[in-house]
């Protein structure tokens, strides 16, 4: 009886180990999926930052010659339209958020709207379309390169927001998640 159980257990264990060793199949569009994942990571950090910072700190500038916290958020919102309108083949709506919005409620809404606009570009991107060329800042660029630049730009400004949080004695959203 013990011998029979052992003879059955060994192949079952091998099957289970083999099943666990199989990697998940790659996404159908791995380049586009990777770009979208990075975009969503920084998008979430920026949106959480906008929600977390108290309104009285939206006008905060560490020095007079830099943007305020709120201006950075407005700049990021404006940039979503700039980058993603190119990828979508649309005219940039250029809403001028950085220059026209100052309240937390207005900036949070503008950011949500801008990221929703950009979501269309990332959600519609496939690896087959990633290499399509568009004019961006006067040069021919692959659509995926424009989206990568957008994420890099977002990360650059999220870094500014992190500094503002630290100067105010606050923990930024990306550090909060690790606690």
pLDDT band of residue 5 (cuts 50, 70, 90) is: very low
pLDDT tens-digit series, residues 48-99 = 999 999 999 999 999 999 999 999 999 999 999 999 999 999 999 988 999 9
What is the rounded CA–CA span in Å between residue 1 and residue 158? 65
Asked, for residue 18, whether it belongs to a domain, the answer is: no
Q: How many domains does the chain have?
A: 1
How confident is the model at residue 9, as a pLDDT?
45
Asked, for residue 5, whether it belongs to a domain, the answer is: no
pLDDT band of residue 6 (cuts 50, 70, 90) is: very low
Asked, for residue 24, whether it belongs to a domain, the answer is: no
Domain CATH code at residue 109: 1.20.120.450
What is the rounded CA–CA span in Å between residue 110 and residue 46? 12
Asked, for residue 122, whether it belongs to a domain, the answer is: yes
* Contacts of range 88-96, beta carbons closer than 8 Å, 24 or more positions apart: 88/120, 88/121, 88/124, 89/134, 93/117
> Strand pairing partners for 139?
136
What is the pTM for the complete model shown? Answer: 0.84
How confident is the model at residue 27, as a pLDDT?
73
Asked, for residue 99, whether it belongs to a domain, the answer is: yes
The proportion of the chain whose per-residue pLDDT surpasses 90, expressed as a percent, equals 81
């Amino acid at each position: 009886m013990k011998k029979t159980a052992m003879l059955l257990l060994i192949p079952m264990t091998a099957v289970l180990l083999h099943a666990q060793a199989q990697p998940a199949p790659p996404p159908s569009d791995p380049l586009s999926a990777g770009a979208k994942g990075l975009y969503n990571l920084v998008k979430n950090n920026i949106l959480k930052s906008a929600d977390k910072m108290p309104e009285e700190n939206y006008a905060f500038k560490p020095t007079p010659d830099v943007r305020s916290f709120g201006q950075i958020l407005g700049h990021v919102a404006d940039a979503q339209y700039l980058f993603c309108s190119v990828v979508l083949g649309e005219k940039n709506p250029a809403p001028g958020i950085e220059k026209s919005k100052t309240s937390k409620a207005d900036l949070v809404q503008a950011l949500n709207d801008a990221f929703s606009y950009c979501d269309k570009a990332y959600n519609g991107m496939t690896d087959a379309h990633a290499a399509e060329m568009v004019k961006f800042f006067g040069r021919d660029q692959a659509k995926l390169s424009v989206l990568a630049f957008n994420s890099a730009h977002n990360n650059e400004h999220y870094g500014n927001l992190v500094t503002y949080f630290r100067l105010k004695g606050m923990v930024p959203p990306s550090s909060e998640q690790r606690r």
